[in-house]
Amino acid sequence: MTLLPLQPVRRVRLSAWSLALAAVAAVLLVAGCRTETKYKWLTFFFDGVPAPGAHTNRAPSVVYDEDGRPMQPPPAPLTNLPAFKPVRFFGHDPYEKKQCTECHESKFSQKMKGTMKQVCFACHDDFLAKAKVQHQAASNGDCKSCHDPHGSTNKAMMVRSGPAACWECHDDFLAKAKVTHAPVLTNDCLTCHSPHVSAFKGLLRKSPKAICTECHADVPGPAKFKHQPAENGECLSCHSAHVSTNKALLTKTGKGLCYECHDDVLAKAKFKHQPVENGECLSCHSAHASTNKALLTKTGKGLCYECHDDVLAKAKVKHQPVVNGECSACHSSHGSTNKFLVLKPGKAMCFECHDDFLAKAKFKHSAVDQCADCHKSHGTDEKGLLTKPAGTLCLDCHEQKDLDAVKGHAQMGATPCLKCHDPHVGGVKYLLTAEGQKAAPAIPAAPPKK
């Protein structure tokens, strides 16, 4: 046998195209395989192949047509991501119908057929014609400052949605707001305002009262007594419509707000009621309406006892005005030039109800000018509202040694002072009563003064 000479083995070099064809062949080979088998083959050739059941985080892209309108995307592969919601486009009717010459001089020109007002009002009603209050942008014919003339993804073809459109011109008053009106907070500017024209200031859709009562139906309500501004619908006299640094959107705090209309009740007062001085007007008064006069939150002593102790709780003898809850019969509720906020000083206050027994009196008790020296003004355990039992009370001014020095008193024993003496006035010396005068002849006359 003749042996053939050995030939060297030729190495076959695989080009890039060969590798690509091999990869394609592998893909075709596994096309009919199970998912797990496909995954093994694909990861052999490629990096970054998602595991079976996994999904990517890439959202379907929005494709727009030549007119700038969003097109419906192709069906997305099944994933765990939320379904894609198509973007709605609010188009201007002439634009949708490609009727360019409704607004433009020609189909090939951006030049308008007239001013913005002329072009817009050629189709839309001229709402400016009879308007009392006009939005500056509308009045200037600057429709494009708010609306896109072709269309937008916002309702009414707005360039921007919500308050973002308003803040293109108006200051963002929410930036530093401490207290915010709910419609403002929820971006509902059009709840209160008309965007173009109105018959009311501030472009309100209705009168201030009508606007506010759409939400605040209980103000001022069916109350018997109503605060004048609330009844007149002048809500903005006290409240800010948008934001405030004060609770309840008040324009000012405490008495500073009340003094915008009411006189300063403390201007000349020497003695001041603490709540009034602190500006706590709402401690006693309702801001909008009440069933009580002067818009009081409660009546009579019920209101006073919110802060003051019940002065009658343990009293056996009670002053009738206090029992009736007529505190303001004697006291000023805001301020006074007299102690304890009484309306008049001393006996003048008492003589508002009691007869002036001093008017025709020949002799007067020195204490009668200050009733409170002997009487309690609210209640006590003693008759006549005395501060102490009569005998003890007299000794507050009259010393026992001086009483003992009077010979007539030697026979008095335990007889009460008021049996012989009138505590207020008299027709004879020593304020003797009729019974005291009967006993007087038995009393030795005092020696004449030298």
What's the count of helices (H) and strands (E) in the chain, helices before strands? 19, 16
DSSP line for 402-431: HHHTSHHHHTTTT--HHHHB-SSEESSGGG
pLDDT in tens, 110-164: 999 999 999 999 999 999 998 999 999 999 999 999 999 999 999 999 999 888 8
- The C-alpha atoms of residue 53 and residue 331 are separated, in whole angstroms, by 84
Is residue 397 included in any domain, yes or no?
no
Helices (H), 97-243: 116-121, 136-139, 163-166, 182-185, 208-215, 228-231
Give the Cβ contact number of residue 67 at 10 Å.
12
Contact 436, 426 (CB under 8 A): no
Mean pLDDT by 10 residues, the chain (450 residues): 47 55 57 67 73 62 68 65 79 94 92 94 93 94 94 94 88 87 88 94 92 88 90 92 93 92 92 95 94 93 93 93 94 95 93 91 90 93 93 88 80 82 91 83 50
Structural domain containing residue 163: 88-177+192-205
Please give the pLDDT value at position 18: 63
- The candidate with the shortest Cα–Cα distance to 219, out of 139, 287, 122, is 287
Is residue 213 included in any domain, yes or no?
no
Contact 70, 89 (CB under 8 A): yes
Is residue 107 included in any domain, yes or no?
yes
Is residue 98 included in any domain, yes or no?
yes
Please give the pLDDT value at position 11: 47
Is residue 115 included in any domain, yes or no?
yes
Please give the pLDDT value at position 446: 45
pTM of the model: 0.67
- Residue 354, amino acid: H
Is residue 146 included in any domain, yes or no?
yes
Is residue 23 included in any domain, yes or no?
no
Query: What's the total number of domains in the chain?
Result: 1
pLDDT in tens, 338-397: 999 999 998 999 999 999 988 888 999 988 988 999 999 999 999 999 999 988 899 899
Is residue 44 included in any domain, yes or no?
no
E strands, 259-323, in order: 271-272, 289-290, 317-318
